[in-house]
Structure 1
Amino acid sequence: MTTHIHKIPPAPAQRPAPLPARWVALAVLCVTLLMVTLDVTVLNVALPTIVRDLNATTTELQWIVDAYVIVFAGLLLSVGSLADRIGRKKVFLAGLLAFAAGSTWAAFSGSVGMLIAARAAMGVGGAFMMPSTLSLITSIFTDTAERRRAIGLWAATTGVGIALGPIVGGLLLSRFWWGSVFLINVPIAVIGFACAIPLIPDSRNVAAQAPDLAGAALSIAGFGLLLWALIEAPVRGWTSVRVLAAGIGSLAVLALFVLWESRCTHPMLNLRFFRKRELSGAVTSVALATFGMYGALFVLTQWLQFSLGYSALRAGLCILPAAGAIAVIAPLSTLGMRLVGIRHTIAAGLLIIAGSFWQISTATVTSGYSGIVLGVVLLGVGAGLVIPAATESVMGSLPGGDTGVGSATNGTFLQIGGALGVAVIGSLLNTRYTNDMTAALTPYHVPAQVMSTVRGSLGGALEVAARVGGALGADLAEVARQAFVSGMDLGLATGAFVALGGCLIALLVLPGRTHRGRGHRPAHTPKQVRR
């Protein structure tokens, strides 16, 4: 009996998309990513307006900013594995729709509580979009050199979006109400959705595991408790029972999260990845970079409007030097990686960021914008070096089938660093401001309600000063501005030390020159699904 052995022909090699199609797809991904990253900071210039319209305190402003980031960061890793499992394009499109819906809700929010909830809903959409963009890029660009350029443009978009937020917000607020900073997202999301369907190929990892929902819940709970303790401490007291309980509880929940991830069969955060110094050192560096960047933008946009009296548009334009520096430096960071390696490129960027914070932290109540413009430029230069180099290090350390989780890990640490920056720098500012205002006003026996308004925010104090008028009102405004600047300087000086610590970590942890692209070889299991 003759046995016929049928040889299965090998699967045809995957062809990269035609050159124009690849770059057009990249453009669609970068424009939608710009919307997500821009929304992290676009709200900053609208904060003074929200103080006046919704009577928000500084603590509530921190929650409005961080509610988006908490949900965003908490879901990124689970969504990254979900995208690898069911298809990155599908998850990306779902994120566009969710982001548009959340933006509409935020635009028409009538109270601080509703706005915070809407911002959290927007975080869901952002979490679905961001990891999918980077993992789609790594599947579309199979050539190492092209992929590096594409990732550089992606990272530049991330940095530019963060820095452009205040400028776009200022332009919108010069003509429309504060809700317009959210409503602008809707047409961009709709156009992005329409373009993505025909232009972006789908990809997935058929061996990807199920999303780790328990891990996602633990990470959001632990991170949320930590931010609650940091943000509420200036108001409730750093030694209050609730603050201490939330802080200790956050550490316990985060420890449980790490334990769960180490034993889970399908963890959202694969702790084995962190044995790779290319990944662990890079995500730590990018978190410490955005720690200062987000925190600096949070306080600077308020200082420019409240203390210097700038309009929202003028305040946004004052951030333009940082955005311009990122736009120029980020694409050129590839040259730095080739010349001195990723480690020294990241370390140099963090050192420059530390210098920028230190320069800005020397501002006094009599300082003008010219006194801090150098620091603003240096902030953009440092971010333009760190973000692309760290992203390349992360994505280059992982196999092709794990690009969704890898990009989500990178994005998670970026957002966690930013949220902590707003919480810590904002809380240091708020603590110093509250203490100074309390000490200055205690001899005058100010009514409790007025005292609460004055201590709540610089905007509230200036409104009270305007109502009082005369020499007494002028003195109150001057004291409030001095207290705010003192708190801002404390927060930014702290950010300088954090960035300097990040520089040392990068030098100690990141490896020297590595063989790039090794981690990007397509895995045997991923299956490309094309329309």
Structure 2
Amino acid sequence: MIAASPPISTGAPPVAAGHPLRRPILVVLCLSLLIVGLDVTVLNVALPTLVGELGASTSELQWLVDIYSLMAAGLMLFAGSLADRYGRKPVFLSGLVLFTGASAVAAFSGSTTQLMIARGVMGVGEALIMPATLSIIGVVFTDPKERMKAIGLWSAMIGVGLAMGPLVGGWLLGQFWWGSVFLINVPIGILALAAAFTMVPNSRAAVARRLDLPGALLSVLGIGTLLWAIIEGPSKGWTSAPVLIGFAVAVLFLAAFLGREHTAKEPMLPLGIFAHRRLAIGNILVFLGLLSLLGALFVIVQYLQFVLGYDAGETGLRIAPTALIILIAAPLASFLGQKVGTRRLAATGLAFAGVSLLILATTGDGDGYGRALAAMLFLGFGAGFIIGPTSDAIVGSLSDDDLGVGSATNSAAVQLGSALGVAVLGSLLAGTYRSELTDGKAAAGLPDAALDAAGDSVGGALTVAGEMPGQAGEAFADLARSAFVSGMAPSMFTGAAVTVVGIVVAVLLFPQGKVGDARGARVPEQSDAPSAAEPVEAMDRHLAPGQRG
């Protein structure tokens, strides 16, 4: 078992200055978050390579991306309660060990199945890391302004990691083999582990809840079944028996999960915590924002490589401006949150994301990199303005004892939104692409096996085109690229509609006011529930018996 330093007392009044090593601790936490964010998207740029190296289909590509987010989202709440019970430091360290080890295994996987398993274990590691980092920040930064800046940097590291994934992956693919996109995590993980072991303090809830194993299992099964039905819909048919059964089973699992959390004496997710509108609405906004943002990034990377013809390294360089914008926008948004409030910032971020998606939705066959760059710049501002302010609002609404579970809801919303973004928007693109490809004149006369391979992914279609003679191959390649661009329209318009819903939620439902205290004491323009004057006592009244603590 990993040793932990003595826990910080949560009963003593907070010291205004915070922990003496809070800044070095923040560096360690941000380093950990950088590789976590990196691995949400680092595989995207390698997807075309995996089509050739491992023979992956479109649905397998979606699973390779989503299995990571599935395990992270499904176990995030459980990991939060685990951190509350056994200490945030040992859970954080255990997550680093698991994440680093699984990264080494992923680097040398010989099949899509092996890679999926390794990615799933990496997701478990992330589930242990993310809520612990945000909880630790909430404990060591007790000054509201310092805490807001720290969370701004925290969210920036997630966003930069998301945006840097294709950049780093592209460079590594240009120099080494595809497994290097995972092997890069190993030295960084070891460095973060060594630094965290010596510097990061431990903390835990004063009264920890029991571990809710049935709740954790039901959440993973429910989310996993839902993703399976969405991803397999285009290939098996949305009205086919397996897909309809998948949706029905997912609803049953998720309903059982909510029922379990409502009736359990000590649930994994105390539903009473959502009495805090900042937490509840903030998580909805994070979920909707990441659904649109990550779905768009999944499509952009493939568009740059398959349609515009850039290799992995060139694609990474062309996505780099997005990372720079996020690095600037996230801390800026957290600073502005003290001036204008989270509501306006979240709505602005969703509007930026919506513009990005509309640019992509209206992209035509003859458009080049300039249009994609405009979309990515808006995407960067959207990510920066959505993640930081909402995360700060969520953490600011919680008592020390609920930091683990409350922070986990935020991290779960990030991962669930990411997973569903890739699944939903990717599947809408895949369905239109397959239909356009098979109906095109250039596909006429192709053997069924070749047509199936081409329909699985645009990368597969380009491979088939390369085996066809001269002009026929060029015509089929053009058809495949055109079909992909056609598929972008319904996919990205759907993403834009999601951002509109988010803007409405932000404007109408998110409480007005600015976060002004580390534990819920705000400077409100309009009252929030519970009252800002009694944040901890009011929360306790909203929690059901057995959920208090």
For Structure 1 versus Structure 2, the TM-score category normalised by the shorter chain is over 0.9
- The alpha carbon displacement at 1:273 in A equals 1.5
The question of 1:513 aligning with 2:513 is answered yes
Q: Is the 8 A contact 2:443 2:476 kept in 1?
A: no
Deviates more, 1:371-380 or 1:69-78: 371-380
Q: Is the 8 A contact 2:234 2:430 kept in 1?
A: yes
The answer for the alignment partner of 2:160 in structure 1 is 160
The answer for the alignment partner of 2:524 in structure 1 is none
Deviates more, 1:379-388 or 1:437-446: 437-446
For the residues of structure 1 that align with 2:393 and 2:16, how far apart are their CA atoms? 23
The answer for the alignment partner of 1:28 in structure 2 is 28
For the residues of structure 1 that align with 2:443 and 2:314, how far apart are their CA atoms? 37
For the residues of structure 1 that align with 2:296 and 2:191, how far apart are their CA atoms? 32
The answer for the alignment partner of 1:69 in structure 2 is 69
Q: Is the 8 A contact 2:340 2:514 kept in 1?
A: no
The question of 1:40 aligning with 2:40 is answered yes
Name the SS for the 1:366 alignment partner.
coil
For the residues of structure 2 that align with 1:186 and 1:210, how far apart are their CA atoms? 33
Cα 1:349/1:112, change in 2 over 3 Å? same
For the residues of structure 2 that align with 1:280 and 1:230, how far apart are their CA atoms? 25
Q: Which deviations, in whole Å up to 9, do the C-alpha atoms of 1:150-177 show, x marking residues without a partner?
A: 1111111111111111111011111011
Cα 1:52/1:511, change in 2 over 3 Å? same
For the residues of structure 2 that align with 1:228 and 1:12, how far apart are their CA atoms? 47
For the residues of structure 2 that align with 1:514 and 1:214, how far apart are their CA atoms? 38
Unaligned runs of 5+ in 1: 1-10, 525-531
For the residues of structure 2 that align with 1:69 and 1:12, how far apart are their CA atoms? 37
- The alpha carbon displacement at 1:458 in A equals 0.5
- The alpha carbon displacement at 1:306 in A equals 1.1
For the residues of structure 2 that align with 1:218 and 1:515, how far apart are their CA atoms? 34
The answer for the alignment partner of 2:3 in structure 1 is none
Task: Give me the CA root mean square deviation.
Answer: 1.8
- The alpha carbon displacement at 1:519 in A equals 2.5
The question of 1:142 aligning with 2:142 is answered yes
For the residues of structure 2 that align with 1:157 and 1:466, how far apart are their CA atoms? 41
For the residues of structure 2 that align with 1:515 and 1:154, how far apart are their CA atoms? 17
The answer for the alignment partner of 2:8 in structure 1 is none
Deviates more, 1:507-516 or 1:262-271: 507-516
Deviates more, 1:30-39 or 1:435-444: 435-444
Name the SS for the 1:404 alignment partner.
helix
The answer for the alignment partner of 2:526 in structure 1 is none
The answer for the alignment partner of 2:479 in structure 1 is 479
Cα 1:261/1:36, change in 2 over 3 Å? same
- The alpha carbon displacement at 1:21 in A equals 1.7
The answer for the alignment partner of 2:288 in structure 1 is 288
For the residues of structure 1 that align with 2:336 and 2:179, how far apart are their CA atoms? 41
For the residues of structure 2 that align with 1:204 and 1:502, how far apart are their CA atoms? 34
> Which amino acid letter does the alignment assign opposite residue 330 of structure 1?
A
Following superposition of structure 1 onto structure 2, how do residues 114-153 of structure 1 map, counting pairs within 5 Å? 114-153=114-153
Name the SS for the 2:203 alignment partner.
strand
The answer for the alignment partner of 2:545 in structure 1 is none
The answer for the alignment partner of 2:201 in structure 1 is 201
Q: Which deviations, in whole Å up to 9, do the C-alpha atoms of 1:342-363 show, x marking residues without a partner?
A: 1111111111111111012211
How many residue pairs are counted as aligned between the two chains?
515
Name the SS for the 1:165 alignment partner.
helix
The answer for the alignment partner of 2:425 in structure 1 is 425
- The alpha carbon displacement at 1:17 in A equals 7.5
> Which amino acid letter does the alignment assign opposite residue 304 of structure 2?
L
- The alpha carbon displacement at 1:469 in A equals 3.1
The question of 1:182 aligning with 2:172 is answered no
Instruction: Report % sequence identity.
Output: 46
Deviates more, 1:476-485 or 1:251-260: 251-260
- The alpha carbon displacement at 1:292 in A equals 1.2
Q: Is the 8 A contact 2:395 2:518 kept in 1?
A: no
Q: Which deviations, in whole Å up to 9, do the C-alpha atoms of 1:470-520 show, x marking residues without a partner?
A: 110010000000001111222111101101111111111101115532635
> Which amino acid letter does the alignment assign opposite residue 94 of structure 2?
A
The answer for the alignment partner of 1:212 in structure 2 is 212
For the residues of structure 2 that align with 1:87 and 1:523, how far apart are their CA atoms? 21
Q: Which deviations, in whole Å up to 9, do the C-alpha atoms of 1:95-126 show, x marking residues without a partner?
A: 01100111111111111111111111111111
Deviates more, 1:309-318 or 1:83-92: 309-318
Cα 1:515/1:335, change in 2 over 3 Å? closer
Q: Is the 8 A contact 1:400 1:520 kept in 2?
A: no
- The alpha carbon displacement at 1:183 in A equals 0.7
For the residues of structure 2 that align with 1:18 and 1:348, how far apart are their CA atoms? 32
The answer for the alignment partner of 1:404 in structure 2 is 404
The answer for the alignment partner of 1:235 in structure 2 is 235
Name the SS for the 1:372 alignment partner.
helix
The answer for the alignment partner of 2:390 in structure 1 is 390
- The alpha carbon displacement at 1:338 in A equals 2.4
Q: Which deviations, in whole Å up to 9, do the C-alpha atoms of 1:50-76 show, x marking residues without a partner?
A: 011011111100000001110010000
Unaligned runs of 5+ in 2: 1-10, 522-534, 538-549
Q: Which deviations, in whole Å up to 9, do the C-alpha atoms of 1:306-354 show, x marking residues without a partner?
A: 1111011111122112111111111111332122211111111111111
The answer for the alignment partner of 1:498 in structure 2 is 498
The answer for the alignment partner of 1:102 in structure 2 is 102
Name the SS for the 1:198 alignment partner.
helix
Q: Is the 8 A contact 2:294 2:422 kept in 1?
A: yes
Q: What's the TM-score once normalised by structure 2's chain length?
A: 0.91
The question of 1:379 aligning with 2:374 is answered no
The answer for the alignment partner of 1:357 in structure 2 is 357
The question of 1:457 aligning with 2:457 is answered yes
For the residues of structure 1 that align with 2:321 and 2:436, how far apart are their CA atoms? 32
> Which amino acid letter does the alignment assign opposite residue 292 of structure 1?
S
Name the SS for the 2:385 alignment partner.
helix
Name the SS for the 1:517 alignment partner.
coil
For the residues of structure 2 that align with 1:443 and 1:295, how far apart are their CA atoms? 28
The question of 1:313 aligning with 2:303 is answered no
> Which amino acid letter does the alignment assign opposite residue 322 of structure 2?
A
Following superposition of structure 1 onto structure 2, how do residues 206-355 of structure 1 map, counting pairs within 5 Å? 206-355=206-355
For the residues of structure 2 that align with 1:515 and 1:372, how far apart are their CA atoms? 35
- The alpha carbon displacement at 1:252 in A equals 1.5
> Which amino acid letter does the alignment assign opposite residue 163 of structure 2?
A
> Which amino acid letter does the alignment assign opposite residue 164 of structure 2?
L
Cα 1:160/1:101, change in 2 over 3 Å? same
